[in-house]
Amino acid sequence: MGKYDFDRYIDRHGTNCKKTDLLQERFGRTDLLPLWIADMDFAVCPAITEALVKRLGGHPIYGYTPVYDSYWQSIIDWQRRHYGWEVKREELTYQSGGVTAFGMVINFFTRPGDRIVIQTPVYYDFKDTIDGGDRITVENPLRPTPDGFFEMDLEGLERIFAEERPKMMVLCNPQNPIGIVWEPEVLREVARLARKYGVIVFSDEVFADLTLFGHRHTPMATVSDDARAVTITCGAPGKTFNIAGFKSTWLIITNEELRRPFYRWVEVNELQNSNIVALLATETAYRCGDEWLAECISYLEGNVDYVVNFCRERLPEIVAIKPQATYLLWLDCRGLGLDHDGVIDFFVNEAHLALNEGSMYGAPGRCHMRLNIATPRAVLEQAMKQLEAAVERRRH
């Protein structure tokens, strides 16, 4: 065993935890294993807890806290150390959450009626935010490949850019829910097209640090001059270090023409304000978390392999697509022979498992489910046991 214990089960019920305490509201019953929403069931790196306890317990005043230099520097150092990306202080701003940041960007750079491209299946809040702000979502679905994975439809993207004239596109990099790590050549082509057609690329990189099995994340903004000109990068320690509840997110915009007016608007409206907890947890994670993260990734890889192999060997009705990043597994459940509502009902009422249902991620997600494997192995083993028993009952 390593230094950190990812096998330890920590009961989250009754802690106002969305994953465990909204089961009745979201799934209609409480006797389910919670394997939905994207946070992890692991204790955070102890250095984060220690830093928070020391500050919150050691000094009883929690007043306004400006975003301080060592916080910015910790992001700059992290990007340099992990991705070789030299980020400048002025290119950064703080935002309280990835979806919030996306909303701010949309509100500033587009108008109601403007088109914004997403590539389905993809994280559902993009579409919700676009549609909710009276912009128009245009979908460029990912293309299945003969080897059972997915690729970007670059021809489809150019057609949409040329014909529909969108103002913006969302790049989910790495991609949730399939867990695709985009290759630099693909990113370069996206950037070339975006610049040619005047499209801003919102590159959501909140899963960047959780690449698996030797895959390497490439920040969109680093691939070319085109990319530097068109990209707004959104990143966070939230997924990486399981501190998503602190709503600590940063943006990087390298193009001064995009950055200057937007950051001014952000500042005037005080949308970049942060707090003691978010700043301290972020800086501590980025400074002290490398070893914890390496162990966490290795544990996640073991969990991915366990589920993928289990399905392959014992549940041929369900194909678990092996991700290159994230802790999310995209399950193709078409082999169950049920319609989409039937698949949902099967998972909840027969297998007693709470997963995200696939159509949230767009039409290609019908008859798919998203499984969060960031939980102790014993929980996953129990989940697979319940799933196998439910499938077995259907076979007879």
Ligand X SMILES: Cc1ncc(COP(=O)(O)O)c(C=O)c1O
Q: Does 97 bind ligand X (CB under 6 A)?
A: yes
**Closer CB to ligand X, 79 or 176, in the complex:** 176
Angstrom distance (rounded) from CA 6 to CA 188:
37
Q: Which of 38, 75, 194, 325 binds ligand X (CB under 6 A)?
A: 38
**From the CB of 178, what's the least distance to ligand X, in Å?**
11
Q: Does 222 bind ligand X (CB under 6 A)?
A: no
**Closer CB to ligand X, 120 or 315, in the complex:** 120
Q: Does 323 bind ligand X (CB under 6 A)?
A: no
**What one-character DSSP code corresponds to residue 362?**
-
Tokens of 81: 């150390």
**What one-character DSSP code corresponds to residue 129?**
H
DSSP string, 188-246: HHHHHHHHHHT-EEEEE-TTTT-B-TT-----GGGS-HHHHHHEEEEE-SHHHHT-GGG
Q: Does 374 bind ligand X (CB under 6 A)?
A: no
Q: Does 106 bind ligand X (CB under 6 A)?
A: no
Angstrom distance (rounded) from CA 301 to CA 215:
12
- By DSSP bridging, strand 136-139 and strand 168-172 are unpaired
Q: Does 209 bind ligand X (CB under 6 A)?
A: no
Q: Which of 116, 206, 318, 331 binds ligand X (CB under 6 A)?
A: 206
Q: Which of 172, 300, 325, 367 binds ligand X (CB under 6 A)?
A: 172
Residue 179 has phi, psi (to 5 degrees) of 85, 40
Over the window 288 to 307, marking each residue x when it contacts ligand X by CB under 6 A and - when it does not, the resulting string is --------------------
Stretch 114-143 residues interacting with ligand X (CB under 6 A): 123
**From the CB of 173, what's the least distance to ligand X, in Å?**
9
Q: Which of 98, 179, 358, 365 binds ligand X (CB under 6 A)?
A: 98
The residue range among 85-93, 96-104, 180-188, 380-388 that interacts with ligand X, by the rule CB under 6 A, is: 96-104
The residue range among 45-53, 91-99, 221-229, 387-395 that interacts with ligand X, by the rule CB under 6 A, is: 91-99
Determine if residue 84 is left, alpha or beta; phi over 0 gives left, psi from -120 to 50 gives alpha, anything else beta: left
Angstrom distance (rounded) from CA 171 to CA 307:
27
Q: Does 238 bind ligand X (CB under 6 A)?
A: yes
Helix axes 256-268, 98-109, angle to 10 degrees: 110
Q: Does 103 bind ligand X (CB under 6 A)?
A: no
> What burial letters (b/e) apply to 174-191, b meaning 16+ CB within 10 Å?
bbbbbbbbbeeebbbbbb
**Which residues are near ligand X by CB under 6 A?**
38, 97-99, 123, 172, 176, 204, 206, 236, 238, 244, 249
